[in-house]
């Protein structure tokens, strides 16, 4: 069901959570998924695995509205209306052949090499793989993308609707890069992957390290009242949202009256929470790398990549 979850246990490990701060759904997302602008959402933190996540979980219909035409004309127009700094260059940063894509491939390939990836693969799947531009530079007979968007895939890539169609195949590599932070249930795809991946197959997971530090004030009733007021006023909200973004780049934390905004990333992972999630899903880590200074679209966002095998 759409809206705030009634279950306050961690969406990754099931542990106990606490309120870290009061938030609001990004207005551009509210517009795209047809909910009221100003919809609140609490940012929670797991006391056991340290995952941060928003309690408003997008349902299937909302995910379809948000990602079906992802980064298409309507998406770009609505987002630019609420985030004037969101440019065509940023929107197209992950297009095939761009520097950001080459950088991601180099980062991933280095980890896969340390994990002992074979020199040639039979079946490789990129879960949430957009147009298929993120496969490593390794000979692969069958490249498959499982993604809910309707974007055309590269000529040598096949799109599949769900992972279960590979039940009779031996999958050598599954990529889940910059995906888990978007999902209402991050455990679900890992359970499916565990069923289809070969015993010697490799799961590659990569997440951004983009959680900002908060203050006690952000969990107070006073801050919640302020956020309710500013989110109802487009120009003040845009101004505070912009200033919040600049502050986060330099300080890695929110200013007292910054905006806690639930955008596309609804989960904030770190190494501890990724490790916990993988263990619970039946995988063991064989190679990993932190890159806290990594940039995306000119913004410092950080990343953590890990290769794992079925346990």
What is the percent of the chain with per-residue pLDDT over 70, rounded to a whole number?
98
123-144 confidence digits (pLDDT tens): 999 999 999 999 999 999 999 9
Percent of the chain at pLDDT exceeding 90: 83
Higher local confidence (pLDDT), 212 or 148? 212
Give CATH 3.40.50.150 domain extents, the chain. 99-208+282-310
pLDDT of residue 1: 43
Higher pLDDT among residues 174 and 150, named by residue: 174
For the chain, the average pLDDT equals: 93
Higher pLDDT: 218 or 149? It is 218
pLDDT digits (tens, 9 = 90+) for 269-282: 999 999 999 999 99
* For range 229-240, the mean pLDDT: 97
Write down the CATH number for the domain with range 99-208+282-310: 3.40.50.150
- The alpha carbon torsion through 258, 260, 262, 268 (nearest 10 deg) reads 110
List b or e across 156-186, with b for residues whose CB sees 16 or more CB atoms inside 10 angstroms: ebebeeebeebeeeebbbbbbbbbbbbbbeb
Alpha-carbon distance values, 62 to 1, 29, 34, 212 (Å): 10, 9, 8, 26
3-class DSSP assignment, residue 62: helix
pLDDT for residue 150: 76
Q: What is the largest CA-CA distance in the chain?
A: 58
Q: Is 297's pLDDT higher than 90?
A: no
What pLDDT band is residue 298 in, cutting at 50, 70 and 90?
Answer: confident
Q: 256-265, pLDDT tens digit by residue?
A: 999 999 999 9
* pLDDT (mean) for 284-295: 94
pTM over 0.85: yes
Question: What pLDDT was estimated at residue 3?
Answer: 63
**Res 159: pLDDT:** 94
Per-residue pLDDT tens digits for 83-124: 999 988 887 777 777 888 999 999 999 999 999 999 999 999
- Residue 2 pLDDT > 80: no
Give the model's pLDDT for residue 305: 98
Q: In this predicted model, what pLDDT tens digit does every residue of 173-190 receive, in sequence order? A: 999 999 999 999 999 999
């Amino acid at each position: 069901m759409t809206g705030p979850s009634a279950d306050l246990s961690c969406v990754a490990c099931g542990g106990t959570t606490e309120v870290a701060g009061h938030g609001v759904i990004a207005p551009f997302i509210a517009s795209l998924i047809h909910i009221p602008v100003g919809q609140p959402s609490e940012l929670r933190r797991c006391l056991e695995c340290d995952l941060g996540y928003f309690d408003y979980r997008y349902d299937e219909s909302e995910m379809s509205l948000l990602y079906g035409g992802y980064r298409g004309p309507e998406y770009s127009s609505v987002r630019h209306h609420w985030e004037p700094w969101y440019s065509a260059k940023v929107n197209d940063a992950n297009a095939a052949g761009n520097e950001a894509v080459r950088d991601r491939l180099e980062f991933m390939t280095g980890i896969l090499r340390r994990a002992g990836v074979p020199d040639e693969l039979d079946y490789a799947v990129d879960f949430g793989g957009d147009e298929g531009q993120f496969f490593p530079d390794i000979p692969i007979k069958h490249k498959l993308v499982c993604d809910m968007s309707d974007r055309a895939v590269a000529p040598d890539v096949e799109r599949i609707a769900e992972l279960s169609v590979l039940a009779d195949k031996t999958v050598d590599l599954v990529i889940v890069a910059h995906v888990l932070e978007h999902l209402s249930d991050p455990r679900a795809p890992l359970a499916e992957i565990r069923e289809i991946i070969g015993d010697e197959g490799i799961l590659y997971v990569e997440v951004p390290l983009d959680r900002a530090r908060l203050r006690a004030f952000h969990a107070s009733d006073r801050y919640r009242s302020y956020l309710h007021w500013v989110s109802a006023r487009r120009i003040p909200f845009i101004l505070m949202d912009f200033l919040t973004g600049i502050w986060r780049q330099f300080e890695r934390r929110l200013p007292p009256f910054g905006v806690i905004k639930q955008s596309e990333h609804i989960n904030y992972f770190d190494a501890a929470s990724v490790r916990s999630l993988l263990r619970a899903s039946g995988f063991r880590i064989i190679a990993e790398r932190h890159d806290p200074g990594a940039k995306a679209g000119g913004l410092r966002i950080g990343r953590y990549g890990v290769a794992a095998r079925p346990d």
